[in-house]
Amino acid sequence: MRVLITGASGGIGAALARALAAEGHFLLLQGRDEERLRALQFTLPESQCQIALADLTVEEDRQRLCNTAIAFGIDVLCNNAGINQFGAFTSTDVARIVEVNVTATMQLTQELLPQLLQQSRPRLIIIGSAFGAIGFPGYTAYCASKFALRGFAESLSRECADSPLRVYYLSPRATATTMNSSRVNALNESLGTATDTPEVVAERVLQALAGDVRRRQIGAVEAFQSTLNAIAPSIVDRALRGKLNTIKKHFKEIENV
């Protein structure tokens, strides 16, 4: 496969790059941090990897990335780039979270969809979140953005059902990346939240591709909670109400994005 991974300078993106390279695939790695991208590139076979510096929210950058991706001949787009904030909704940068997580992702996909549909086995991978199925205090805007991506993946998959495109929506649970601040890590510890490494997430993504599993929530408990929230949300309401004081103790000042 010839794969464009967005957000490759982050934890999950880098782990995906290493896992895909190990299987012999060719990679185009997008990110905004040149130093981290080049450090990742240095660990991968030179003939399999190119990097592309771009801010997906800037139209000129995104168009340049699309031109590079088309010249690269991608048949897989992995939408992994995203940002997060934890804290009170009243202090959240809503516009920035929606711009990065939703708008830029959808625009990039729209611009590259004709390229993908020309391929014999095109794939679109969207990295979502368990918070794309469960609204969680302190992550209101982030949850909304991931709910949107889940709807986007589902709708586009159904719209393209008469084409060779396969759309995969993978939902990691809490993952140990640098996107988590010390306050988020402390919250996860106080709540006993199960946390995966980026490598575990990458392995699950590859398993989903190999088994053609179009939707996957990582973690059996999280999968059950997502189902419960869909069919009996009041039960989840009560459970989270009981944890609300603990969650709010970790709010303090909003994190930067």
- Choice among 139, 142, 168, 169 that is catalytic: 142
Place of tokens 């009996």: 232
State yes or no: is 139 an active-site residue.
no
3-state secondary structure of 2: strand
Structure tokens at 242: 């009981």
Residues 6+ apart with CB under 8 A from 3: 20, 25, 26, 27, 28, 74, 75, 76, 77, 78
Q: Please give the helix or strand (H or E) that residue 51 lies within, else none.
A: strand 49-53
Query: Which class for 110: exposed (0-12), middle (13-18), buried (19 or more C-beta within 10 A)?
Result: exposed
How far is the C-alpha of 230 from the C-alpha of 232, rounded, in Å? 6
* Residue positions annotated with a catalytic role: 142
